[in-house]
Amino acid sequence: MSAPSGIYSKSYEDEIAIARTPIERLALIIGSILLLVFPLITPTYYSVVAIYIFIAIISSIGLNILTGFAGQVSLGHSALMAVGAYAAAVAARYAGLQFLPAIFIGGLAAACAGFVFGAPSLRIKGFYLAISTLLAHYIIFFIIHLPSVAPLLGVPHGFILPDVALGPFTISGTFRNLYFYYIALGLAVFSIITAHNLMRSRIGRAFVAIRDNENAAEVLGINVYRYKLLAFTISSFYAGLAGATYVYFVRVIIPGHFELRVTIEYIAIILLGGLGRIWGSILGSFIIIILSEGIRYITVTYLYVISPEVSAYVEAFKLVIYGAIIIVIILTEPYGVVALLRKVKQYFKLWPFRY
Amino acid sequence: MSGEYTLQVIDLNLSFGGVTAVQNLSFRVPSGQIYSIIGPNGAGKTSVLNCINGFYKPQRGRIIFNGREITDLSPHKRAQIGIARVFQGIEIYRSMSVIDNIMTGRHIKMNANPILCALFIGPAKHEEVRNRAIVEEIIDFLNLEKYRKFPAGALPIGIQKRVALGRALALEPELLLLDEPMSGMSIEEKEDMCRYIIDINEERGITIILVEHDMSVVKDLSHTVMVMDRGMKIAEGRPQEVFKDMRVVRAYVGESVA
Amino acid sequence: MKKVVALLVVVAILAIVAGVLVTQPLTTPAPRPAEKIYVGYAFCLTGPFAGPAEDGIKGIRDYIRIVNERGGVNGREIVLLIEDNEYKPETTIRIFTRWKEQYKLSAFVTCGTHVVAAIYQMVAEARIPYSDTSMAGPFADARKYPWYFPAPLGSYTDHYRAFLKWFKDKWAGPRAPRLAIVWETKAFAPLVKPGVESYAKDLGYEVMVEVVEIGSTSALEQMQRIKAYNADVVATMLPPAETALVLRTAREVGLKAEFVNFLYSIYWEPLVERLGPLAEGTYFGAPFVPWGYDVPGMKDLLEAHRRFHPDDRHTTQYVSGWISAMVLVEALRRAGDDLSGENVRRAWESITNFDTKGLTPPLGFTPMDHRSTTTIWIWKIEGGKFVRVAEVTLPRDDGYLGK
């Protein structure tokens, strides 16, 4: 809410800077170092899980911009990831583009699709918009499965992507996961920074204005429809970027990667982390991925020893556990983990003086 | 500038289905004045404001702003050419801080594109800082310094109304539409608000259309008062004259008294 | 404040979960005693093929259990690692990277063709022999995918090709036989149809193609067109529900032709049960026997069934799991004391004429060709039972390798 006492800003640039206090700057530096050495000091498995977290961050930032900031509910998120993924794959396979241009094309293609997805938002809101985006989801999957399109996209059995190449370097072999960790980290940081900047600029304020009160936004001269479309477009860019990065990592692209279930998972991420906060996307992705991985790990490591038969059933049961935890958090803190952490921070700011 | 009149409304007719909200209404708002519209509940005052800033499309009639016909313009375009509005209810952005609320008002004065915004470089950053300075001036003007970083939704109603006013001022409008800015306020808050309105009018030279129920406020502030009843203009003139008019009294108090 | 405390508790629980995850493998690294052999199965225990996979994994587990009871392979115990890959590549990647670091894997097995596509490269880089339950052909080419061993159950394409060859050989009609292919475009059929179609044309069939998508509720037009075409053979490449639809409609329009159907994820018994009388007289092609079929090798399976889970109902899936485990154990046996991935692969490729006591034709692999067999049995359904009517040996021609 406000800076700790003793911190003064001498210019407005200072005040809108990302890290303002010495502690924040220190945390930034230590955090960066930790992230950079993490894959070097832990087993590859952890880097792989971290890569999924980074990809989830990129994608959930996209969804958070649309749903959390601009207040437009969308159920088409995973379909937009699919558009990005397939566009990148096609650009790589048929036009021979390298990794970075290909995923960028993926992002742009998804942005275009998102622009079209967003068109109904002129007339409809809330639940109805959700249904229309759901429809868009199915339209995209219908197109992907069209007999004339499917063979080009390797549907349904998978379309193998080329190795990731950056300039003359090809990333493959033993250190593939390690290099990919840094690539995904870089893309996640890029997404976080650009999204944060967007959200603290006039565009982000226009989005929140539309979410909070469309009429009031209109009288401030904000072209509501245009900004809704912009929100869809920007959101979809991140979705496409994430989808493309994801398929480059798993090397194969199948429609099954982007089922409706994935959209629901991302909605869970932003609800859990915190709507309308970039930090919410980061924390939400972290928690959900660790959670799903952790539940499986615990069942197979501990339960399997006791009874292999039972563990197979618990595997299915983990979705229930997963759901229960989300419900508990949302019931106790509707604004997500971010709000929770802020409360904790406030508490310690005042500690030991209770109010 | 088109000289004397900032806004001209000519033969305005607005109805919803069979219900007539505004009927054959014409009036002119002289530049630099505080022009009040009063009338009993349901007289069509807010409908008139909604026509002026474009939420309602009148069935007939023209609205001319600074000599330019704006009848068919969409609300955000009208905001861009200089019509700002403060709503009757408190329609500020509850989750935003006071600063961000008012910064949102600067939207039309800023024009960095999304890519520049995403990178936060060059024009985007300069623009942010430049406009921030203007916002600080408004905060200073409305004495909102100590609430700067509070989420606006958590503030007392009087302060929230001030934030809404600040947000409208950030547009640097030529015409400000105030819809019951005093409702729900304490006497002290009303006095503050009156002072701000007068300052806005006199120091900043902004023409104001005021819809208000508190007659003492109207009497003290207005240059011109128009009285409406059932969608029609029944009187117009200087406050002292208008309040003597029996038709006005009747409209407010009812036939039996007359 | 109460609320904050309650929330802190939630956070603490999460932190503990996360902590356990992070520290567990680091503090207690998995023991790697030299005397054990580690084999990883990332299996689709949840997802669309959970049912078949569950029975399949039972066959694998029972066989390995018996091998271990009899003293293991070359005196070593086999440790089966089994995890649920959710039928998803991304989960399989996570499981594989973790296992690779924790254990010295001698072999890795998954289910799902798309999973193979996603992680083949990764497993190959780790130099670990890799197998999958899928009978789709694309990865069978050992020159392109030297670390991959397809399930020793023949490829779907070969199943159809064997039938077509057998049918053509006994064809005595005055004109060329006519084949109608009925497929869907979204699941397995796209992998099978092109190979079958071109083979049929090579054999001298006249071919027509009809599409019945998954989820269709009518196949009337398609069947009428096939009837008008006077097809002699109809090859369906559809899941159970759509197969039933096609068979029922064919009967309704009075279509007289031989049907050869898809062994959808080799789940024979439930499929035939479901089709009921519709399945009568139709054909399947496969190089293995159904559950309970009277061959010498089946005795061990019935014994395991009686000992380990007498109440369970088994299917061909159990038999196929058992067979693939037999092949894997044979490869490990031949590998001797050197259990490195390279050596296991070499041993696997040295298997020739492996006798499964009638469960399959003799199996064999070479460094150039990882197809276990090209001998396929033709099965006919008579009285709800599977009757073996012929054995067809297809030439091991390169033209159909990987198709």
List pLDDT tens digits, range B182-220: 888 888 888 999 999 999 999 989 999 999 888 888 888
Q: CB of C311 within 8 A of CB of C178?
A: no
Same domain flag for B29 and B8: yes
Q: How many residues in chain B? A: 258
- Does residue B229 share a domain with residue B199? yes
C104: burial class by Cβ within 10 Å (0-12, 13-18, 19+)?
Answer: middle
* Tens digit of each residue's pLDDT (9 = 90 or more) over B72-120: 899 999 999 999 999 887 788 888 899 999 999 999 888 888 888 888 8
Kindly determine whether residue A250 and residue C90, on different chains, have CB atoms separated by under 8 Å.
yes
Q: How far apart are CA C328 and CA C83, in angstroms?
A: 18
Does residue C281 surpass a pLDDT of 80? yes
- Please give the average per-residue pLDDT across B163-172, as a whole number: 93
The pLDDT confidence band at residue C246, using thresholds 50, 70 and 90, is very high
Note whether B102 and B151 are same-domain residues.
Answer: yes
Among A250, A343, A347, the residue with its CB nearest the CB of C118 is A250
The per-residue b/e assignment along C52-91, b for 16 or more CB within 10 angstroms, e otherwise, is bbbbbbbbbbbbbbbbbeeebbeebebbbbbbbbbbbbbb
Which has the higher per-residue pLDDT, A191 or A18? A191
Residues of A in Cβ contact (< 8 Å) with C119? 250-251
For residue B186, the model assigns a pLDDT of: 86
Q: Does C185 touch chain A (CB under 8 A)?
A: yes
Does C124 lie at the interface with A, CB-CB under 8 angstroms? no
Q: Say if residue A101's pLDDT is above 90.
A: yes
pLDDT at residue C23 is higher than 60: no
| In a domain? residue A17 | no
Q: Residues 6 or more apart from A123 whose CB is under 8 A from it?
A: none
pLDDT at A311 over 60: no
Beta strands in C135-216 (DSSP E): 148-150, 178-183, 206-211
- What pLDDT, on a 0 to 100 scale, did the predictor assign at position A308? 57
SS3 at position C183 = strand
Which of B172, B197, B216 is the last residue in one of the domains? B172
What is the distance between the alpha carbons of residues B30 and B35, in angstroms, rounded to a whole number? 8
Same-domain pairing of B161 and B184: no
The Cβ-side half-sphere exposure at B6, using a 13 Å CA radius, reads 21
Residue C346 clears pLDDT 80, i.e. is over it? yes
What pLDDT was estimated at residue B198? 93
* pLDDT at res. B2: 47
Tell me if A221 and B95 make a contact (CB, 8 A cut-off): no
Nearest Cα residue in chain B from A197 = B118
The residues with which C131 forms a beta bridge, in sequence order, are C109, C149
Cβ–Cβ below 8 Å for A347 and C89: no
Any domain includes B87: no
Instruction: Tell me if A195 and B118 make a contact (CB, 8 A cut-off).
Output: yes
Same domain? For B163 and B180 the reply is no
Please name the residue ranges forming H helices in B207-257: 215-221, 239-242, 246-253
Higher-confidence position of A201 and B121: A201
- Residue C329, pLDDT above cutoff 80: yes
Q: Do the two chains B and C touch, given a threshold of 8 Å on CB pairs and at least 3 pairs?
A: no
> What per-residue string of b and e applies to A100-128 under the rule 16 or more CB within 10 Å gives b?
eebbbbbbbbbbbbbeebbebbeeeeeee
Q: In total, how many domains does chain A have? A: 1
pLDDT tens, residue by residue, A324-354: 777 887 788 778 888 888 888 777 777 666 5
Query: By the 8 A CB rule, do C393 and C374 touch?
Result: yes
**Given its phi and psi angles, is residue A260 left (phi above 0), alpha (psi -120 to 50 degrees) or beta?**
alpha
Widest pairwise Cα distance in chain A: 70
Among A213, A336, A224, smallest CA distance to A273 is for A336
CB pair distance less than 8 Å for B171 and A212: no
Residue B29 domain flag: yes
Q: How confident is the model at residue A280 (pLDDT cuts 50, 70, 90)?
A: very high
- One domain for residues B6 and B117: no
Cα–Cα distance, C141 to C132 (Å, whole number): 14
| pLDDT of B177 over the 90 cut | yes
Rounded to whole angstroms, the Cα distance separating C288 from C319 reads 8
Q: How many CB atoms are located within 10 Å of the residue C2 CB?
A: 6
Type of residue found at A276: G
Interface-testing mutation among B46, B117, B136, with chain A (most A C-beta atoms within 10 A): B117
Q: At what angle do helices C341-349 and C316-335 cross, to 10 degrees?
A: 110
Q: Does residue B73 lie within any of the structural domains?
A: yes
Q: Do chains A and C touch (3 or more CB pairs under 8 A)?
A: yes
For B215, which DSSP code?
H
Across residues A88-108, what is the average pLDDT? 93
Closest Cβ opposite residue B114 in set A15, A216, A230: A230
Q: What is the pLDDT of residue C29?
A: 43
Query: B93 and A209: CB-CB below 8 Å?
Result: yes
User: Chain C: residue nearest A331 by CA?
Assistant: C7
Cβ-in-10-Å burial (0-12, 13-18, 19+) of C37 comes to buried
Contact residues on chain A for C100, CB-CB shorter than 8 A: 44
On whether residue A301 sits in a domain, the answer given is no
The Cα C361–Cα B94 span in angstroms is 75
Q: Which two tokens stand for residue C168?
A: 């053509």
Q: Is A11 on the interface with B (CB under 8 A)?
A: yes
Write out chain C residues lying below 8 Å of A261, CB-based: none
CATH code of residue B210: 3.40.50.300
A267, A258, A293: which is closest to C84 by C-alpha? A293
Which residue among A52, A287, A315 places its CB closest to the CB of C45? A315
DSSP β-ladder status, C385-393 and C148-150: unpaired
Residue from the list B96, B117, B133 with its beta carbon closest to the beta carbon of A201: B117
Spatial neighbors of C139 by CB under 8 A, at least 6 apart, are C113, C116, C117, C120, C132, C145, C148, C150, C402
Cα–Cα distance measured from residue B108 to residue B91, given in angstroms and rounded to the nearest whole number: 19
Q: Please tell me whether the peptide bond between A156 and the residue prior to it is cis, using omega within 30 degrees of 0.
A: yes
**Same domain assignment for residues B110 and B78:** no
pLDDT of residue C362 exceeding 80: yes
Average pLDDT over residues A168-174: 82
Q: How many CB pairs under 8 A join A and C?
A: 131
Q: Are residues B156 and B231 in the same domain?
A: no
Max Cα–Cα distance, chain C, nearest Å: 91
Bridge-partner residues for B225, per DSSP?
Answer: B36, B237
DSSP string, A191-243: HHHHHHHHHHSHHHHHHHHHHH-HHHHHHTT--HHHHHHHHHHHHHHHHHHHH
Q: Give the residue with greater pLDDT, A239 vs C137.
A: A239
Is residue A299 included in any domain, yes or no? no
Whether residues B133 and A222 touch (CB distance < 8 A) is answered with no
Number of domains in chain B: 2
What are the pLDDT digits (tens) for C76-132? 999 988 888 888 888 898 889 888 888 889 999 998 888 888 888 889 888 999 999
- Looking at the domain assignment, is residue A346 inside a domain? no
Residue A152 CA: distances (Å) to CA of A94, C14, C198? 10, 44, 20
C30 touches chain A (CB under 8 A): no
What value does the mean pLDDT take over residues C340-354? Answer: 93
Comparing A13-17, B241-245, C91-95, C148-152, the range with the smallest average pLDDT is: A13-17
The answer to the question of residue A285 being in a domain is: no
pLDDT at A355: 47
In a domain, B4, yes or no: yes
pLDDT band at B258 (very low <50, low <70, confident <90, very high): very low
Average pLDDT over chain A reads 86
The rounded distance, in Å, linking the Cα atoms of C208 and C229 is 8
Chains touching chain A through at least 3 C-beta pairs below 8 angstroms are: B, C
Give the domain extent around B110. 92-172
The model's pLDDT over B26-77, given as tens digits with 9 standing for 90+, comes to 999 999 999 999 888 888 899 999 999 899 999 999 999 998 899 889 999 9
B125 lies in the same domain as B229: no
Judging by beta carbons within 10 Å of its beta carbon (0-12, 13-18, 19+), is residue B83 exposed, middle or buried? buried
Can you give the pLDDT at residue A314?
58
Average pLDDT of chain C to the nearest whole number: 85
- Tell whether the model's pLDDT for residue A105 goes beyond 80: yes
Residue that finishes a domain, picked among B172, B193, B214: B172
Long-range contacts, stretch B149-154, CB < 8 angstroms, 24+ apart: B149/A1, B149/A2, B149/B97, B149/B98, B149/B99, B150/A1, B150/B97, B150/B98, B151/A1, B151/B94, B151/B95, B151/B96, B151/B97, B152/B92, B152/B93, B152/B94, B152/B95, B152/B96, B152/B97, B152/B98, B152/B101, B153/B92, B153/B94, B153/B95
- What whole-number percentage of chain C has pLDDT above 70? 88
Q: How far is CA B116 from the centre of its chain?
A: 33
Selection from C240, C210, C245, C241 nearest residue C225 by Cα: C210
> C161 and C237 in contact (C-beta within 8 Å)?
no
Distance from CA of B257 to the nearest CA of A (A): 40
Contacts of A13 in chain B (CB under 8 A): 125, 129
Considering the domain boundaries, does residue B188 fall inside one?
yes
In terms of phi and psi (left: phi > 0; alpha: psi -120 to 50; beta: otherwise), the region of B24 is left
Half-sphere exposure (CA, 13 Å, Cβ side) for C246?
34
pLDDT of residue B174: 93
Measured in angstroms, the CA of B126 and the nearest CA of chain A are apart by: 9
Residue A117's closest CA among A80, A88, A160?
A80
Q: Report the chain A residue with the minimal C-alpha distance to residue B87.
A: A216
**Is residue B250 less than 8 Å (CB to CB) from chain A?**
no
What are A158's two structure tokens? 């998978």
For residue A198, the model assigns a pLDDT of 92
Q: What is the pLDDT of residue B89?
A: 79
What average pLDDT does range C238-262 have in this prediction?
89
CB half-sphere exposure, B125, CA atoms < 13 A? 13
Strands (E), C145-265: 148-150, 178-183, 206-211, 233-237, 258-260
* Average pLDDT over all residues of chain B: 88
Place of tokens 């080329």: A162
- Kindly report, residue by residue over C160-185, the tens digit of the pLDDT: 999 999 999 999 989 999 999 999 88
- Direct distance between the N- and C-terminal alpha carbons of chain C, in angstroms, rounded to an integer: 66
Q: Would an 8 Å CB–CB cutoff place B220 in contact with chain A?
A: no
Residue span of the structural domain in which A109 resides: 34-276
Q: What is the ipTM of this complex?
A: 0.88
The CA distance from A276 to A284, in Å, is 12
Stretch (H or E) spanning B172: none
CB-nearest partner of A343 from C4, C87, C97 = C4
User: Band of the pLDDT at B139, cuts 50, 70, 90?
Assistant: very high
Between CA C83 and CA C224 the distance in angstroms is 47
Tell me which of A155, A163, A254 to substitute to probe the interface with C (most C C-beta atoms closer than 10 Å): A254
Q: What is the CATH number of the domain that holds A136?
A: 1.10.3470
How far, in Å, CA of C352 to CA of C327, rounded? 11
Angle between helices A126-145 and A260-273 (to 10 degrees): 140
